[in-house]
Amino acid sequence: MKTLRLSALALSFAAFLAACGGGGTTAPSVTAPAAPLFTPGAGVPNTVGSFSRLVVFGDSLSDGGAYFPLTSGGAATNGIGGKFTTNSGAGPNGTVANPLANGSMVWPEMLATNLRIATTPAVVGAALGPAGSAENVVACPAAAAGAAAANTCTNYAQGGARVSNPQGIGRPTAAGAGALTYSMDRQITNHLARFTNFTANDLVFLFGGNNDIFVQFSTFAASGQTLAQAQANVRTAATQLVGLTDRVLANGGRYVAVMTLPDSSRTPFGRSLPSDDARFVLSGLVQLFNQTLLAGLNGKNVQVIDAYTLNNRVIDNPGTFGITNNTTPACDSAKISAATSGSITDGSSLFCSTTLNLGPAGTGTLAAGASATTYQFADGVHPTTKGHQVLTDAIAAEIKRFGWTN
């Protein structure tokens, strides 16, 4: 029955997308935004910026180590991981080094390095108790190194975060520790509380909505809502992201870039779904989000970076980008489970390591033959170090095309 239900709904979704303008071809390319869905406003900057801060709002695709305390808790996790990627960097006693210091970089850190600035997590910690009713956090851990370092605490992205709903993926619903999942709305509020406003020296990125789509898709797949309800909720999340962009602009944001979402149906997670119909529905929700986002941003003084098109190009032509595998995760779920004494069984790259010493010979938690520098995906949806480098290169090329960098 579920297969038949998905088949019928996939057909209706095809008609719906056609009526809205079709699939991903209406999104802007990574070389030039396309009419009619998005054209930047006349007031968007086209001159080189003097950037002193890289400010990022989003989810796990941009998380620079917000949950390191969850992965460094001694025997339960062996002190491994820290970011949603193929973590590396040797620490004491065979553990992985604190990723806030020298673990594998994710794209905001790579881009900041290119710009000769730095970005570090705005907060690290965990939510505790039912629905995260309590929190154990350290704000701006880099501040311990001095005032200059405190100015780098501008990566607000957190794994599991949604656009405006505080109950993100991984936040506790019962007793125990879990993810903070500060919504992008709260992330912006926290930035304004600390810095008062945005300045012309801030390079600002908004990259989120993935978790809103995952929540709506999983609720639909479990027969918890109709497809029409899932679509409406996805539209709402995209519209809320437009509103958050307006908020950044209203509070002084000048160099502001918003990123479309990659097609999660083409990730290893998407490939693991039980049918093409399920993948079609998931892809349709991503496209609907992007279409709504682009239409809402049209004419505003922002630029769009099209991660949707970039991801499709990489998947279709992996060798062009130096990638040898984009269908299976680099991280081995069985090895992660063994390294965490059975605490983590889903293969999450948050607990993945290329260097963890698991025995006398020393080995990481990568699958046999896998590599952080040739595989695209660390786990079902998150990039490896290579995947983040490809994304960084594309973003760097785009902001140069915008005229924001030399």
The answer to whether the beta carbons of residues 282 and 380 sit under 8 Å apart is no
Q: How far is CA 243 from CA 98, 184, 185, 209, 236, in A?
A: 35, 11, 9, 13, 10
In a domain, 365, yes or no: no
In a domain, 151, yes or no: yes
CA dist., res. 259 & res. 341, Å (int): 37
CA 96 from centre of chain: 22
Burial of 406 (C-beta count, 10 Å sphere; 0-12/13-18/19+): exposed
In a domain, 223, yes or no: yes
pLDDT, residue 245, reads 98
In a domain, 90, yes or no: no
* pLDDT tens over the chain, length 406 residues: 233 334 334 434 443 333 333 333 333 334 444 445 899 999 999 999 999 999 999 999 999 999 986 765 443 344 467 899 998 865 555 444 555 554 589 999 999 999 999 999 999 999 988 766 799 899 998 898 899 999 999 999 999 999 999 999 999 988 888 899 999 999 999 999 999 999 999 999 999 999 999 999 999 999 999 999 999 999 999 999 999 999 999 999 999 999 999 999 999 999 999 999 999 999 999 999 999 999 999 999 999 999 999 999 999 999 999 999 999 999 999 988 887 778 889 999 998 988 765 443 445 889 999 999 999 999 999 999 999 999 999 999 999 999 999 9
pLDDT, residue 370, reads 94
Where in the sequence is the domain holding 181, given as residue range(s)?
2-12+38-64+106-330+370-401
pLDDT, residue 100, reads 52
pTM of the full predicted structure?
0.90
CA dist., res. 98 & res. 87, Å (int): 10
pLDDT, residue 363, reads 54
In a domain, 303, yes or no: yes
CA 207 from centre of chain: 7
Query: What is the length of the chain?
Result: 406
pLDDT, residue 74, reads 42
In a domain, 164, yes or no: yes
pLDDT, residue 72, reads 58
CA dist., res. 104 & res. 110, Å (int): 10
pLDDT, residue 340, reads 79
pLDDT, residue 89, reads 62
Report the number of distinct structural domains present in the chain: 1
In a domain, 81, yes or no: no
The answer to whether the beta carbons of residues 233 and 212 sit under 8 Å apart is yes
CATH number of the domain where residue 124 is located: 3.40.50.1110
In a domain, 96, yes or no: no
